[in-house]
Structure 1
Amino acid sequence: MKQKLLGFLIIWVCLILSIYTPVMGRFVVEKNSLRVTSPDSIKDTYECAIGNFGVPQYGGTLVGTVLYPKSDQKACKDYKEVDLNFKSKPGGLPTFLLVDRGDCYFTLKAWNAQKAGAAAVLVSDDKLEPLITMDTPEEENASAEYLQNITIPSALISKSLGDSIKKALANGDMVNINLDWREALPHPDERVEYEFWTNSNDECGPKCDSQIEFVKNFKGAAQILEQKGYTQFTPHYITWYCPEAFVLSRQCKSQCINHGRYCAPDPEQDFSTGYDGKDVVVQNLRQVCLHKVASESGKPWLWWDYVTDFSIRCPMKDKKYTKECADQVIKSLSVDLKKIDACIGDPEADVENPVLKAEQDAQIGKGSRGDVTILPTLVINDRQYRGKLDKGAVLRAICSGFQETTEPAVCLSDGIETNECLENNGGCWQDKAANATACKDTFRGRVCECPVVQGVKFVGDGYTHCEASGHLRCEINNGGCWKQTKDGKTFSACSEEHSTGCKCPPGFKGDGVQTCEDVDECRENSVCQCADCKCKNTWGSYDCSCGGNLLYMREHDTCISQSGKSSVGWNFVWVIFLGLATTGVAGYALYKYRIRRYMDSEIRAIMAQYMPLDNQGESQNHVAHADI
C-alpha cells in the first residue's frame, strides 16, 4: 500500500513539475459574451466563462429570460422534489436558470437545471475573483451517467453580475439576456486549423470511453473536411517527465521511456498488473508517427482510421494492446511500417525523441492559447474548445471557425443541431401531422425556412405559414387542406390540378383548410325545379325524384312518363322488325328472279353452240365446201 501511494505521489510531482516549469505558459479561461438587454439599470455587455461540459452554441446566439429559483438556489437537488419547472411556455423566451456556486459539482447543477426545463444555466460565483473554467468532476464522480447527457450551455458569471441580476429580479424587473458565442472562436479565413489532444489509453474510465466514442463518430466528418482541404488537423498527446532524482525508481521505469523523459500514468493505477504507463507512451508515439508518415504520403486523414481500428482490434482488456496488433492495423491501411518504426526510435535509449519533445513544447501555451492541461482538449484556430466531446457540438465549433459565407456544405446540414429548434420550434412554422418544420438549425443560429418533405416543397414565410405546393402535394397531410369521409364518401379540398391552396369541392363551401360545409342545393341552387320534381339534399350532392309513374331526367330537369316511354319504344321496335322482314322477303324474291334470268341466258348460249338453227347450219356448210 505504501509503495502504491509513493508511486502516485511521484506521478503527481511529475505532473506538477511538467506543468509549472519556468516557462511563460498559462491556463486560459475561454469566454463568451453575455449581453443584458433589460432592465436598463444593468443593461450592458459582460464576460462569462464557458463551462467544459454541455453544448456551447459556438458561432451563434441564444436569447432567454433569467429566473432565480425560490428554493434549492444552488441546484444541488432534483427540482422535482420541490415541484419546480422552468420550461418556457409556447411563444415565450427560453429560461436561463441562475444558480449559486457551491455545495455540489457544476455538472450536477447543469443537469438538474436541464431536467427542470431550463435552456441554459448561469452559475453565479460566490466570491470576487477572476472567472474560472467549470470542469467535469474527477475520480469517483467522473463515472456519473448524466455527464454525457448534458446538452444545455453553461456559463460562470462574476459575483457582482449575479448580485445585480438577483436585485433586479427582486424588484420585479424582467431580466433578458443574450448569450453570444459568435466571437468565442476566431474565424479569419476559409480554412480551419484544429488539434485534438488525446490519449491512447482505453482503461482510464469514462473520459477514455468518451474519447474513443467521439473519434468513431466524428471520423467521417473529419475525413471529408480534410480531404476537400477545408481543415488542417493535427493530433497531440500529453506526456510529462520524471524528475532526475526518481529516474531509477520502479515507478518511473514503468511509466517512462527514454530514461524518464516522457511519461504517462499507469492505466490501471496498479504497477503490479496489466499494462504500464510506458506502453501508453509508446502507443501515443506510434499514433503521432503514423499521422506524420501518412501526411507525407498525402493522406493525413488515415489517422482517424488507425485510431478507430486500433481501439476495436487491440483493446487493453483483451490483452492485445501490443506492437504486433498495431502493426497489423498499420499494414491494413497500407502505411509504410518501416518509416513509422524509424520515427518511434529506441524507447530505451538515453536520448531525446524529437517527436515527443515537439509534443511537450506544443503543450505550452503561446499567444492567445493557454497551456493544455485537460484531457481531452480540442484547440480550434488556436483557441481551446470548451464543452461536451460530441460530434454535433464539435462540428458546430469547427464550422464557426470559417470566415462567414465560406463554410462548407456540411456546416449547413442536419448534422449540426442546436437548442433553438428544440425550444418552441425556434418560433417557426410547424405541422406535426405532416412531420414538417420550417426551423432549420445552423451553427450560426436557426433559420425559419419552409422545408421540402418527401420531395414536396412547402412555400410561405416560414414563420406563421407554409403550405405544400406542386405535384404530389396532396399526399403530404392532404396538402394541409380539409378532408372528410362520411356515409362511405370521401371529399377533399386539395387538388393536384392547383399548385397551391385549398378549395372546397363542388357541393361544399368554406375556407378549404379548417372547414368545408355541405351546401343544401335544394335551397341555394336552381335544381329540381320542374313542377313534379322533389329535391332531397345529400352530403356533398343532392337527389331529385318525381311523383307517381314519372321518371326524372337530371340533364333536362324534367319528369317523363315511364309507361309512355315503354309503349312508344315497343311499337317502334315492332315497326323496325316488320320493315326488316318485308325488306328481306322482297330482296329474296328479286334475288331468285335475277338468278333465274341469268341461268336461262347461260343455258341458251350453251345450247346455241351444240344445237345450231337450220339456216345457221346451211350457211356454215357452204362456206366449208368453198374452202375445199
Structure 2
Amino acid sequence: MGVSKTSKATIFLGFLWLNLFQSVVGRFVVEKNSLRVVSPDDIKGTYDSAIGNFGIPQYGGSLPGTVVYPKENRKGCRNFEDSGTSFKSKSGAMPTFVLVDRGDCFFALKVWNAQNAGAAAVLVADDVDERLITMDSPEADGSSAKYIENITIPSALIEKSFAEKLKKAVSAGEMVNVNLDWREAVPHPDDRVEYELWTSSNDECGFKCDMLMKYVKDFKGAAQILEKGGYTQFTPHYITWYCPQAFTVSKQCKSQCINHGRYCAPDPEQDFSSGYEGKDVVVENLRQLCVFKVANETNKPWVWWDYVTDFQIRCPMKEKKYNKECADAVIKSLGLDSRKIEKCMGDPNADEDNPVLKEEQDAQIGKGTRGDVTILPTLVVNNRQYRGKLEKGAVLKAICAGFEETTEPAVCLSDDVETNECLDNNGGCWIDKAANITACKDTFRGRVCECPVVDGVQFKGDGYSSCTASGRGRCKLNNGGCWHDSRDGHTFSACVDNEEGKCSCPPGFKGDGVKSCEDIDECREKKACQCPECSCKNTWGSYECSCSGELLYIRDHDTCISKRAREVKSAWAAVWAILIGLAMAGGGAYLVYKYRLRSYMDSEIRAIMAQYMPLDSQNEVQNHVNEDHA
C-alpha cells in the first residue's frame, strides 16, 4: 500500500522539525517568575515557577492568593462545577490559587476548568523531578479553540518537590499564602523598550494563525504610538527552516523552499497536491521583512504594521489572493518604493544565501538570557520571551513593564490609545481630494478603510484603491466618480443617475466612462451625412452636415432637397388657398342673394293680393277704427 500525499507531507515536516530540534536542543530558555510563600513559616521563601504560554500574566505586577488543593478532580481535567466545587473567594478574602497535578489532559484545559470554577490563578505540580518547562497551548482543534482564547487568569508550572511541600501544608489544614510576582519577569534597564515579534504571513494554520492575525490588528494602534513617540524599537522576525542536503532535489523540498533548499516553510495545507506551497509563504515572509527594512530607511518603521494588517484583509489565502499582484497593490497604497523592496528580496531561485533570510536564521539562535525561538508566534521584550496570551492589553502590560521606573509613556498609564492614522498618507485608503471624500476611518484599534456614505449616497468598493458612488443622487457628488468635461459652453457627463452606479459615455463619445470619454468622429466613421450631396463637419460630442449648392439638409432623413422645390410647393399652396377662399366667398354671397331675393318676392306677392281680398289683419284694423267713431 502506498503512502498518501498528506502522509508524505507530514513525514517531510518531521525532517524539518528534526533539523530544527538538533540545532537548538539544550538552548531552550524557560521564562520564569518568582513565587514567594508568605506562610506557613516552615516553607516560607522564594521559588521559581515557569510562566504558562496562555492566559494573561500580570507583567510588572504581583498577585497574592491562598492555595487550594482539591479533594477530587486533582488533575483538573473535568469541570469542577459538575461536582459542586467552587473556588470563588468570599468578600474580603484573598483570591484562590488552585493547585492541580500534571497529566491526562492539556495544561490549558486544567486552567480553563479552574477559571470557570472561580480560581484567580493556577499552579500545576510537575509529576517528575526535572527542570521546569514552558506550558504551551495545544494545537487547537474545534473543541480546544473555544477555551484557549478565553483563558484570562495566569498560570505557572512548579517543581515536583516544591509542590509536595504545598500539598502537605494544605492537607494539614494550614493556610498557605503565596505571592506570584512578575515584576522582574521583564528587565527594565532604560527608558526605551526593544521588542520583537516572531511571526508568519501564513493565515491557514488554524487557531494560532487566527490568534496572531487578530493580535496584529488589535495591537497596531498602540504599537505605532509607542514607535512614533520613540518609546520603543520594534523588529519583526520570521522563522524559516532549511532542507536537508539529501532532499534538496525532492518534490517536497522544491515546493516548500527557495534558494535551493536554504529557506523553507511548511505547506499551508500540508498537502503538496493542492493550494499554496511552503515557498509561497517564504517569499511573502521575505517581502514583509523587506517592507520593514525599506520603511525603516525612511524613518517610518511603523508602516510595517499597516502593510501586514492590510495584506491580511486584502490578500487572504481563502480567497486565492495571496500573491505578488495583491501585495504590490498594498505596497502602492502605502506609498512604499516597490523597486527597493524587490531589490531587497533578491532572487528566490538563486543557488546562494539570501542576506535577509540568513540574518533571520541566525537571529533564531538564543543570545544572552534569551533562548532559541522555537514557538510560533513568539514575542520577545527586552531580550526576554513573553509568555502568555497574545492579546493587546496583556502584551501592553509586558512592554510597559520593560520601562525604567517613572519613564513610562502616557499610553502605559491610561486605558485608551487614541491616534488619528488618517492624517498620515490618508492611512493608505482611497481618497477623492477634489471632493474631499475619504474611505479612511480612525478607530480605537487603528484605521480601517471603508467606503463612506456622503449626503445619503453610499460609496461602494474595496476602500483601498476604489470607492464609487452608487444609487440615486450619486451624480450630484463629483459626477459619481465618472468622467465629465466642459468645452465651448457645452458640458457632458458619463454619470447615469440610477441604482447600478455605472459610468457610461454619453451619445457622441466612447470610452470607459470613468477615466475618459473621447469624442466620436462621426464624419470619419461614416455614421452621418451619407447622402452624395452632403458635407460633414465633426464637432465635440456631435457633428454638423451641410449640402452643396442651393440644397437644404434634412437631418431626420439624412438627405438634401432643393430650395426651389420648396418655393414652388409654397407658391402652389398659396394659389390653392386663394382659390378656396374665393370659392367660399362666392358661395356665401350666393346664399345671401338668394335669401334677400326670396324676402323681396314674398312682400310683393302680399301687396298684390291685398288689393283683391282683405287680409285678416286689415279687417281687424277697420273694425277697430269704427269703434272709435261711435
Q: 1:415 to 1:109 in 2, by over 3 A?
A: farther
For 2:339, the aligned partner's letter is K
Deviation at 1:169, TM superposition (A): 1.1
Partner of 1:231: 232
- Other structure's SS at 1:414 match: coil
Tell whether the 8 Å contact from 2:196 to 2:234 is kept in structure 1 after alignment: yes
For 2:150, the aligned partner's letter is N
Deviation at 1:4, TM superposition (A): 3.1
Output aligned runs, 1:608-627, within 5 Å. none
TM-score (normalised: structure 2): 0.65
Partner of 1:322: 323
Give distance in 2, aligned partners of 1:240 and 1:366.
19
Residues 322-362 of structure 1, C-alpha deviations (whole Å, 9 max, x = no match): 00000000010001100000011111111110000000000
- Other structure's SS at 1:98 match: strand
Deviation at 1:144, TM superposition (A): 2.4
Deviation at 1:2, TM superposition (A): 3.5
Deviation at 1:414, TM superposition (A): 1.9
Residues 92-129 of structure 1, C-alpha deviations (whole Å, 9 max, x = no match): 10000011111110000000000000000000111111
Output aligned runs, 1:147-166, within 5 Å. 147-166=148-167
- Other structure's SS at 1:284 match: helix
2:190 equivalent to 1:189:
yes
Q: 1:279 to 1:14 in 2, by over 3 A?
A: same
Deviation at 1:70, TM superposition (A): 1.2
Tell whether the 8 Å contact from 2:139 to 2:207 is kept in structure 1 after alignment: no
Residues 541-563 of structure 1, C-alpha deviations (whole Å, 9 max, x = no match): xxxxxxxxxxxxxxxxxxxxxxx
Tell whether the 8 Å contact from 1:185 to 1:383 is kept in structure 2 after alignment: yes
Deviation at 1:156, TM superposition (A): 0.4
2:404 equivalent to 1:403:
yes
2:112 equivalent to 1:93:
no
Q: Give the share of equivalent positions with the same residue, in percent.
A: 70
Tell whether the 8 Å contact from 2:66 to 2:177 is kept in structure 1 after alignment: yes
For 2:100, the aligned partner's letter is V
Give distance in 2, aligned partners of 1:148 and 1:95.
22
Partner of 2:215: 214
Give distance in 1, aligned partners of 2:270 and 2:79.
34
For 2:256, the aligned partner's letter is Q
Partner of 2:243: 242
Give distance in 1, aligned partners of 2:413 and 2:96.
27
- Other structure's SS at 1:20 match: helix
Deviation at 1:6, TM superposition (A): 2.6
Tell whether the 8 Å contact from 2:9 to 2:270 is kept in structure 1 after alignment: no
2:121 equivalent to 1:145:
no
Deviation at 1:25, TM superposition (A): 6.7
2:69 equivalent to 1:68:
yes
For 1:48, the aligned partner's letter is S
Partner of 2:6: 4
For 1:93, the aligned partner's letter is M
Give distance in 2, aligned partners of 1:357 and 1:143.
36
Give distance in 2, aligned partners of 1:100 and 1:14.
33
Give distance in 2, aligned partners of 1:140 and 1:64.
33
2:376 equivalent to 1:338:
no
Tell whether the 8 Å contact from 1:256 to 1:281 is kept in structure 2 after alignment: yes
- Other structure's SS at 1:398 match: helix
Tell whether the 8 Å contact from 2:5 to 2:271 is kept in structure 1 after alignment: no
Deviation at 1:172, TM superposition (A): 1.3
Deviation at 1:69, TM superposition (A): 0.7
Q: 1:415 to 1:176 in 2, by over 3 A?
A: farther
Q: Which runs of 5+ in 2 are unaligned?
A: 418-630
2:273 equivalent to 1:272:
yes
For 2:71, the aligned partner's letter is K
Give distance in 1, aligned partners of 2:61 and 2:67.
19
Deviation at 1:159, TM superposition (A): 0.9
Give distance in 2, aligned partners of 1:8 and 1:160.
38
- Other structure's SS at 2:36 match: strand
Residues 417-462 of structure 1, C-alpha deviations (whole Å, 9 max, x = no match): xxxxxxxxxxxxxxxxxxxxxxxxxxxxxxxxxxxxxxxxxxxxxx
Give distance in 1, aligned partners of 2:11 and 2:372.
23
- Other structure's SS at 2:149 match: helix
Tell whether the 8 Å contact from 1:199 to 1:284 is kept in structure 2 after alignment: yes
Deviation at 1:14, TM superposition (A): 1.9
Output aligned runs, 1:372-521, within 5 Å. 372-414=373-415
Give distance in 1, aligned partners of 2:20 and 2:128.
30
Give distance in 1, aligned partners of 2:308 and 2:143.
24
Tell whether the 8 Å contact from 2:34 to 2:49 is kept in structure 1 after alignment: yes
- Other structure's SS at 2:230 match: coil
Deviation at 1:8, TM superposition (A): 2.1
Residues 303-323 of structure 1, C-alpha deviations (whole Å, 9 max, x = no match): 000000000000000000000
Give distance in 2, aligned partners of 1:24 and 1:85.
41
Give distance in 2, aligned partners of 1:113 and 1:139.
19
- Other structure's SS at 2:371 match: coil
Q: 1:141 to 1:363 in 2, by over 3 A?
A: farther
Residues 141-164 of structure 1, C-alpha deviations (whole Å, 9 max, x = no match): 785210000000000011111111
Partner of 2:20: 18
Tell whether the 8 Å contact from 2:140 to 2:208 is kept in structure 1 after alignment: no
Give distance in 1, aligned partners of 2:416 and 2:136.
26
Q: 1:235 to 1:270 in 2, by over 3 A?
A: same
For 2:412, the aligned partner's letter is C
Give distance in 2, aligned partners of 1:86 and 1:140.
28
For 1:112, the aligned partner's letter is N
- Other structure's SS at 1:269 match: coil
Residues 237-293 of structure 1, C-alpha deviations (whole Å, 9 max, x = no match): 000000111001110000000000000001111111111000000000000000000
Give distance in 2, aligned partners of 1:163 and 1:185.
29
Aligned length, in residue pairs: 415
Residues 494-548 of structure 1, C-alpha deviations (whole Å, 9 max, x = no match): xxxxxxxxxxxxxxxxxxxxxxxxxxxxxxxxxxxxxxxxxxxxxxxxxxxxxxx
Give distance in 1, aligned partners of 2:19 and 2:353.
18
Tell whether the 8 Å contact from 1:187 to 1:400 is kept in structure 2 after alignment: yes
Partner of 2:301: 300
Q: 1:87 to 1:415 in 2, by over 3 A?
A: farther
Tell whether the 8 Å contact from 2:140 to 2:207 is kept in structure 1 after alignment: no
Tell whether the 8 Å contact from 1:363 to 1:372 is kept in structure 2 after alignment: yes
Output aligned runs, 1:592-611, within 5 Å. none
- Other structure's SS at 1:29 match: coil
Residues 73-100 of structure 1, C-alpha deviations (whole Å, 9 max, x = no match): 1110001111000000111100000111
Partner of 2:433: none
Q: 1:355 to 1:267 in 2, by over 3 A?
A: same
2:132 equivalent to 1:128:
no
Partner of 1:263: 264
Deviation at 1:412, TM superposition (A): 0.9
For 1:152, the aligned partner's letter is I
Give distance in 2, aligned partners of 1:306 and 1:332.
9
Partner of 2:484: none
For 1:14, the aligned partner's letter is L
Partner of 1:606: none
Deviation at 1:3, TM superposition (A): 3.9
- Other structure's SS at 1:16 match: helix
Tell whether the 8 Å contact from 1:25 to 1:365 is kept in structure 2 after alignment: no
Tell whether the 8 Å contact from 1:262 to 1:281 is kept in structure 2 after alignment: yes
Partner of 1:429: none
- Other structure's SS at 2:326 match: helix
Deviation at 1:138, TM superposition (A): 1.9
Partner of 2:466: none
Residues 474-512 of structure 1, C-alpha deviations (whole Å, 9 max, x = no match): xxxxxxxxxxxxxxxxxxxxxxxxxxxxxxxxxxxxxxx
Deviation at 1:139, TM superposition (A): 5.8
Output aligned runs, 1:516-595, within 5 Å. none
Tell whether the 8 Å contact from 2:198 to 2:238 is kept in structure 1 after alignment: yes
Tell whether the 8 Å contact from 1:25 to 1:366 is kept in structure 2 after alignment: no
Tell whether the 8 Å contact from 1:306 to 1:330 is kept in structure 2 after alignment: yes
Give distance in 2, aligned partners of 1:144 and 1:95.
26
Give distance in 2, aligned partners of 1:402 and 1:169.
38
